Structure 1
Amino acid sequence: MASLTPAERLRIAVEADETRLRMYRMKLLRARPGMGEWEMRGALMNWMSDGVEFPDMSRSGPGKAAGLSAPQVNSLERAYARLADAFDSLEAPWALAGSLAVSARVEPRYMSHATVIVPVTDEQVVQDILEGLTDSGYHLLTLTERASFERLDGGAEDDPMGPEDFEIIRPESGRIAEASLVDEGSSDRELYVDLCFADSRIEGEIARAAERLEILPGQFVPVARIGHLIALGLLSFSGQVQRPVPAAFVEMDRINSDQVFTGIRVEADLDLLRDAAGDEDLSLAREAVGLIAERETYPSLNLRAELASFLRR
């Protein structure tokens, strides 16, 4: 994205607020389909008063709230529509996860980062998907391969190793675990997308259990369930994401700062998910964590203990 003027940055911020408002409205309507407009207005005002700044709801005229039933679609919402169209056109199962899924299910906060689950392990199919996305206007940023290390010298696990002391073992399938992309379909809006093929090894269960929700007026997207979102959030801290601790902010290069700020976002998502989770959601989270452990996704991670600690906070 080119350097933006202050006016353009302000417009983008206002659009994000409008989208949060419309997305939260859709959540309320899913919970109470018959909610009247004035009751809706009161519920939204109560939500917005909790330290959240939004545009003046009266600007659309008497009895109307800005962002509620306005027919215009802003650039952020067009980016979401491009995301859904791009993945629907692939004719492969997929599900929205990450911060955007948390925004759709619980409370809209982080609006420019999406995680998409695509349960595919065939390398050629993965390549075809990535090519299809680039043809749709997405730019590939990074690829993450799944690999493990096997010692060749018979030494103890904590002994130092040189390049000649280990062998890299790559799986026969599911080699590409993740890809990061950015939507370049708009000159003034970036939507970052983390694409997960085989990171958790429960991508199939997540996609099959996803619910197709109307996250914005007229925009229907398969969204991962809360229990699966909790498991994925906890799992993310086993990889490159760092938990947000004060010491991490002392000296950071660009890569480390990205990891830490991603950790802040994931931690905030998990707090929202914990508060919103019901018994069925927690049961699904425990089931998902159990499957991840059984499939030895990350053998060194005790995800069951992480979940228990998370629920005790």
Structure 2
Amino acid sequence: MEIKKLSFPFNLKKHDYPPLAMALGYFDGVHRGHQQVILEAKKQAENKGFQSAVMTFDPHPSVVLGKGEQHVQYITPLSEKIKIIEGLGIDYLFIIHFTAEFANLLPQEFIDQFVIGLNVKHVVAGFDFSYGRMGKGTMETLPFHSREEFSYTIVPKFSEGNEKVSSTRIRKMLKEGNMEDLPNLLGRFYTTSGIVIHGDKRGRTIGFPTANIGVNEEYIIPPLGVYAVRMKVKNLWFNGVCNVGYKPTFNKESLRVSVEVHLFDFNQEIYGEEVIIEWHPYLRKEQKFSGIEELVAQIERDKLTALAYFERNRHSF
């Protein structure tokens, strides 16, 4: 996949690119609804003899436009979004630097420069996609703005459980810690990536060594508590449990949330390794224990609960 980062204004001759069938959208999460749009662009490209393309924007428009809720944390930060879109078999990914100046383009200017100007011959977008200043351009105005230079496909609403699959719905579930229902919307389990960093190494002294993960701050981290997780280390997956919290049994005044993973049947030094955490069910809230023995007994129970879950679902991963 060829990745092109573009900023406004830019100089392009239309024939810098082959004829394209392009999916338009922000695509945070690249969830099942987004995949319908992207795979439709791929199908149209194959049918018409074009190359497939996706256009997305960075950062999230809400950050630039000063909306009430600014999305500075993502379901899929840009680096992960790129990997997922590449995995869908797309030829070109255009990442537009979203600025106030870009947001001020008239709908016709956006289409002229960023669609017709990229030699796009077929546009695919969701029914609710909007473009141009104040979102005045819609899928209803697209035929007018196309200047008959391209055809288009409108992808209808994609629902799960009688409700639209949307990034907003997924964000809400993430913030509620509802990890089990996310695959129905995402088409996969939620993942975050980070580097294994040095912690206080107390886990190994009580028989439960943990990997302290410095998670990329652009991710939405699930709420405080204990979760069943899988973790990818050096291309291999291991089952475990993860504590998101302040470790109240030991740190009475800790202000920084830690993400600590105890992997089952694992005994390697992995400091500095980049790892991926795949989030599975929420097991319990974080709690303070009266002493080490009570803590160890609870971790053992968490481990057994997680092992039983992974055994029940072992064909799902």
User: Which TM-score applies when normalising by structure 1?
Assistant: 0.22
Q: Which has the larger radius of gyration?
A: 2
Question: Quick check: which one's helix share is greater?
Answer: 1
Question: Quick check: which one's strand share is greater?
Answer: 2
User: Which TM-score applies when normalising by structure 2?
Assistant: 0.22
